[in-house]
Amino acid sequence: MLKRFVIYSVLIILFIMIFPRFIEKGFIFHPERSNDSATPDVYGIEYDDVIFRTEDGLNLNGWFVPGKKPSPDADLHTLLWFHGNAGNINRRLDNIKMIYERVPVNVFIIDYRQYGRSEGKVSEQGTYIDARAALAYLHSRKEINREKIIFFGRSLGSAVAVELALNEKCRALILETPFTSILEMGKKLYPFLPLSLLLKTKYDSLAKIGNIKVPILVMHGDKDDLVPFEHGKRLYDMANEPKEFYTIPGAGHNDTHIVGGDEYFDVIRNFVNKL
């Protein structure tokens, strides 16, 4: 009896130690190294391949894509783009191309630590540090108007954008397919586990968004089978005015810019123009 108790106790301890790591690495983060042949060059788009440094001493990679100016003296907004949890910036090429062609904004998209050509090991706090470093880099570019930087977060990147908007100045915030928190997402996948006791990663956007005081656009596909549509609606409901919600009819989690078509880009362009 005592032997069985000891075995069960050891198994429980191992579960408590190992399971959070499994969840946080296997469920939350899916870093992918870079395919150097896949760059904006393949679409004939000019860009700067950027290496910038974080406050904890890591070199990160990003692409700065100057937008198409409607006139030579136009002062464009800049999207600081935080992508989702899988892949890297190479996987966003088609989306970058569509933004470049349809919305007159500069784009700075980065890879978090451990993603693409960026150094380090990914974590929640690490992505927050990476976001601050990306913003500092943008501030260092003389052609960028600091008053016209928009934080754009998609999926996991929405939580990174929310955290940055909570602590740093921006002109507006765009959240695409956002989730309320990692805990709520975990409950959807593992409803019988005490995740509140096991998970270290929070990404609790729902607790933060009510403290953000800039215009917000939330976009969510009504057929999203990964992040429930209700997550986007709840974040929108908690956000301050001025705010907009755009339902992308028929869109899942990863095809919003494709299924949404012209209307998707019209919504972004009109939101930016109203700023």
Map tokens 């980065």 to a residue: 110
CA dihedral defined by 233, 239, 242, 247, rounded to 10 degrees?
-10
| Cβ proximity of 177 and 155 under 8 Å | yes
In this predicted model, what pLDDT tens digit does every residue of 236-261 receive, in sequence order?
A: 999 999 999 999 999 999 999 999 99
In this predicted model, what pLDDT tens digit does every residue of 102-133 receive, in sequence order?
A: 999 999 999 999 999 999 999 999 999 999 99
Q: What angle do CA 212, 215, 220 make, to 5 degrees?
A: 95
Q: What's the length of the chain? A: 275
Of 222, 132, 173, 159, which is closest to residue 28 (Cα–Cα)?
159
The reported pLDDT for the residue numbered 237 is 98
**Hey, how many other C-beta atoms are within 10 angstroms of the C-beta on 125?**
11
Q: Distance of CA 131 to CAs 45, 74, 112, 158, 177, Å?
A: 24, 27, 8, 11, 19
> What one-letter code names the amino acid at 148?
K
Please tell me the distance from the alpha carbon of residue 148 to that of residue 141, in angstroms, as a whole number: 13
The reported pLDDT for the residue numbered 2 is 54
Which residues of the chain, if any, have pLDDT below 50?
Answer: 6, 8-14
The reported pLDDT for the residue numbered 62 is 97
Which 3 state secondary structure label does DSSP give 120?
A: coil
The 8-class DSSP code of residue 260 comes to: S
The reported pLDDT for the residue numbered 174 is 98
Map tokens 């052609």 to a residue: 143
The reported pLDDT for the residue numbered 186 is 74
The reported pLDDT for the residue numbered 63 is 98
The reported pLDDT for the residue numbered 9 is 47
Sign of CA dihedral 136, 204, 222, 90: positive
pTM of the model: 0.90
The reported pLDDT for the residue numbered 44 is 94
